[in-house]
Amino acid sequence: MRLWRWGMATALVCALVSPSLAQLRVVTWNISNYSGGNASNVETAVYGVFEGRSMSPDVFICQEFLSASASNSFLSILNAAPGSPGDWAAAPFINGPDTDSAFFYRTSRVLFKGVTVVATGGTSPNHPRNIQRYDIQPIGYFVPECFDPNNPTDMNCPVTGGGKATIACYSVHMKAGSTGDDQARRLLEAQRIRDDAEALPANWMFLIAGDYNIQSSTQSAYQELTGSQANNAGRFFDPINTPGGWNNNGAFRFVHTQDPIGAGGMDDRHDQILLSGNLVDGAEFDYIGNASVPYSTTTWNDTNHSYRSYGNDGTSYNTTLTTTGNTMVGPTIALSLQAMASGAGHLPVFLDIRLPAKVSSVEVLDFGTVVLGGFAEQPLDIAHGGAVARWGVNGLEDLTYSLSHSQGLLDPNVEYTLSAGDAPNTHMIEVLTDTVGLINETVTIHSNAPEDPDRVVLLVGEVVAPSICLGDLDNDNMITLSDLSGFLGAFGACVGDAAYVAAADFDSNNCIELADLSGFLGVFGSVCP
């Protein structure tokens, strides 16, 4: 894994949870036995603002929906909520044997590619609920031009490049309980998920979100998901690096998600989001936070992480969610979160994902007509091409790049950096002019932009021989006595002789002779055109 850029991480995370930031926010929420409605509390929980902070998601991965009607109701509430951008859509609802997952996404942020039932729920020895995978691509990244969102499984559409921006989102609601049978079912569910993740294209990213019903990181199901195996292609990572026995353990009070309203109080980390390795490596698409640092045990506002158990300010251990004086979300949002946790309920969990850098420049730099041996230079502007209006300055990776020239006129070891929103860097580019003919050189921009890591700029133009004003041997654009003196000095010389001057060769026979003297006298006293 690549090292995390610590300074950038701190800058990005310090302003977390603000609705003004535009990174990709993924939320998971087990909304207990949701049958639809409860609009006021949904609106407040999702778009309510406290001290400038709001949930304001881009992708919603939900559990315990009872029907397609419930999914449609929730979608309508999201689009109508005050503060909503009104661009929400829902994945097709799949009705399984128990409560089900529902998936919602903002169409201005992500392209929905399709849903896959990874495993069908049922009774023993199968697991009790469906496991579903929802595939998305952030808008503007590696989307094939022929991709048809109405037919995402079209095998006639080439996907070259398209996979690199795909994020597979697993929604899970594992078997509850602590008996041996309960743990065996959770292990089976984890095995199905990891097997599916291992079979994904190598350049895909993936995450798993939902209610794990796992009380300790040592349980076999959790180890199946996060442990190192012979095939680590499908391995998941905890972005807040917080293993342990979470149940009834006050050390983990800031990451507990259950239960904000029930008699048992907040005492377990049932709800989590785990990420693939390429989402925690500090480069390109990446978790906004430092995945090597455990979550704070002293504050909810951990500047190392964008991950939040939303509403939990750490003051609710073994009791119901704090409402009055809740320092994360305030009383109004906290009350709505309680109201949505209808008995033995859950808090939402979210994290933010940063989008990769893009590089922008002209494709061709035209030098026009250049005189042989002259100095030829043109400015090349290089910009961060990320969509700041969509993803925000803090939601885009810095662009780093170096330059190489096909003729070796640039130092490829010099590295430049541009943050999203910065003015372009201007580089003065030279070309060789020692040979008459067309200019055919290149500058290559080597960058961390995954779509265009070696962007080639063509350098074009033409090198021409200098025009000659016959008779003007001193190059002052006038034919005078000074030129006559020069002509007489060159008289009798031919090409190759040191005294030969092309401006004295009127008949172009490569020698200065009497015929040329006649020509010189004919232009004497004139001005060069």
Between the ranges 16-20, 31-35, 127-131, 500-504, where is the mean pLDDT highest? 31-35
- 8 Å CB contact between 10 and 293: no
- CA neighbor of 215 nearest in space, from 171, 182, 172: 182
The stretch 6-24 carries a mean pLDDT of 50
Q: What is the mean pLDDT of the chain?
A: 90
Does 359-464 carry CATH code 3.90.226.10?
no
The stretch 344-357 carries a mean pLDDT of 95
Say if residue 13's pLDDT is above 80: no
Distance CA 464, CA 169 (A): 60
- Band of pLDDT at residue 347, cut at 50, 70 and 90: very high
The stretch 203-231 carries a mean pLDDT of 96
Rounded to two decimals, the pTM is 0.83
**According to the model, what pLDDT value does residue 371 have?**
76
φ, ψ for residue 100 (rounded to 5)? -130, 165
Token pair listed for 472: 């003007």
The yes-or-no answer to whether 6-354 and 359-464 have a common fold is no
C-alpha neighbours within 13 Å on the C-beta side of residue 351: 28
**According to the model, what pLDDT value does residue 344 have?**
78
Q: Give residue-wise pLDDT tens across range 320-341.
A: 999 999 999 999 999 999 999 9
- Band of pLDDT at residue 163, cut at 50, 70 and 90: low
Token pair listed for 247: 């149940």
**According to the model, what pLDDT value does residue 374 have?**
78
- Band of pLDDT at residue 4, cut at 50, 70 and 90: very low
366 or 156, greater pLDDT: 366
Given the candidates 3.40.50.300, 2.40.390.10, 3.60.10.10, 2.40.128.630, the CATH classification of the domain at 6-354 is 3.60.10.10
Between the ranges 88-92, 494-498, 505-509, where is the mean pLDDT highest? 88-92
- 8 Å CB contact between 433 and 370: yes
- Band of pLDDT at residue 8, cut at 50, 70 and 90: very low
**Start-to-end Cα distance in the chain:** 67
Q: Where are the domains of the chain?
A: 6-354, 359-464, 481-523
The stretch 175-184 carries a mean pLDDT of 90
Distance CA 128, CA 101 (A): 13
Q: What distances in angstroms separate CA 129 from CA 64, 121, 217, 348, one per listed residue? A: 10, 4, 22, 20
- CA neighbor of 140 nearest in space, from 163, 114, 160, 111: 111
Q: Which amino acid is at 80?
A: A
- 8 Å CB contact between 117 and 93: no
Q: What percent of the chain has pLDDT over 70?
A: 90
- 8 Å CB contact between 212 and 271: yes
The stretch 456-480 carries a mean pLDDT of 90
- 8 Å CB contact between 174 and 211: yes
**According to the model, what pLDDT value does residue 302 have?**
97
Q: Give residue-wise pLDDT tens across range 102-149.
A: 999 999 999 999 999 998 877 655 567 899 999 999 998 874 444 454
**According to the model, what pLDDT value does residue 97 have?**
85
If you ran DSSP here, which 8-state letter would residue 126 be given? S
Distance CA 63, CA 67 (A): 11
**According to the model, what pLDDT value does residue 529 have?**
75
- CA neighbor of 65 nearest in space, from 103, 120, 39, 27: 103
The stretch 450-477 carries a mean pLDDT of 90
Say if residue 2's pLDDT is above 90: no
Token pair listed for 524: 């004497």
- 8 Å CB contact between 172 and 64: no
**According to the model, what pLDDT value does residue 364 have?**
98
φ, ψ for residue 390 (rounded to 5)? -90, -45
Helices (H), 316-399: 330-340, 388-391
The stretch 360-367 carries a mean pLDDT of 97
Distance CA 492, CA 510 (A): 10
Between the ranges 144-158, 223-237, 370-384, where is the mean pLDDT highest? 223-237
Say if residue 151's pLDDT is above 60: no
Say if residue 188's pLDDT is above 50: yes
